[in-house]
Amino acid sequence: MRLNQYIAACGLCSRREADKLVTAGRVKVNGTVAQPGVQVEETDEVCVDGKKVSLVKDEVVLAYYKPVGVVCTEKDSHAERTVSSEIKYPIRVTYAGRLDKDSEGLLILSNDGNLINAMMKAANKHEKEYEVEVDKEINGDFLNKMANGVYLEELDKTTRGCKVTRTGKKSFRIILTQGLNRQIRRMCQALGFNVVKLKRVRVMTVKLSDYELKPGKFVELDKNAKDALYRAAGLKK
């Protein structure tokens, strides 16, 4: 398989991040600095920053309730609380899809880079569901505009059509199939609203309500839940 796919399958990072590691000269195959696009086999020795990496044998998938204030990053030395520092798990896991610092809710983490890559691939249009509260009363016009797509000037993009359901005077549920940076906050702001509270309640087949998780806690998905997620990601039948 291609080197970036191999590194991702080792659970180290996504394929895109793996490409960056290779380009930076931080990856060696059988003692030689690797070139982008090289093919490797299981019998090859692959080292990243001098440490040997191996293919994941047992896939682990975690459902984590990210609290407000925790940052989805592994690089920001100024962040007081990060996902990697909050979760005390003996196996290295990475997340599929970020939640910004001021948002809370479900985050999926795994040591399987192929699963992470499949979940994050925009073309797959996987659903993520959110509960949102804004600072002003909403109406049908607001809901229709959110559902039909909002032009985001700073990104020069119009959001993909989505499902939006009103749940209160100032609250709604929204199901997205794309993951633009701070998308819901940007969409609301473009329509003159500010998000007061944002909570992710579902990622594909995994629902936060299926687990009695409090903010900051996580659970390992059982076989049935894990298999359902892999099937939804197109990785298992």
> What is the C-alpha to C-alpha distance for residues 1 and 149, in angstroms, rounded to an integer?
39
69-94 b/e (C-beta count within 10 Å ≥ 16 → b): ebbbeeeeeebeebbbebbeeeeebb
Angle at 135 between CA 134 and CA 140, to 5 degrees: 60
d(C-alpha 183, C-alpha 154), whole Å = 11
Question: Angle at CA 167, nearest 5°, toward 161 and 171?
Answer: 80
- For 117-132, give one letter per residue: b (16+ CB within 10 A) or e: bbbbeeeeebebbbbb
Query: Which helix (DSSP H) or strand (DSSP E) does residue 105 occupy?
Result: strand 104-110
**Catalytic residue chosen out of the listed positions 100, 135, 222, 227:** 100
Distance of alpha carbon 144 from alpha carbon 24, whole angstroms: 46
100 is catalytic: yes
- Amino acid in the structure at residue 157: K
Burial of 237: CB neighbours in 10 Å, binned 0-12, 13-18, 19+:
exposed
Helix axes 15-23, 113-120, angle to 10 degrees: 110
Catalytic amino acids? 100
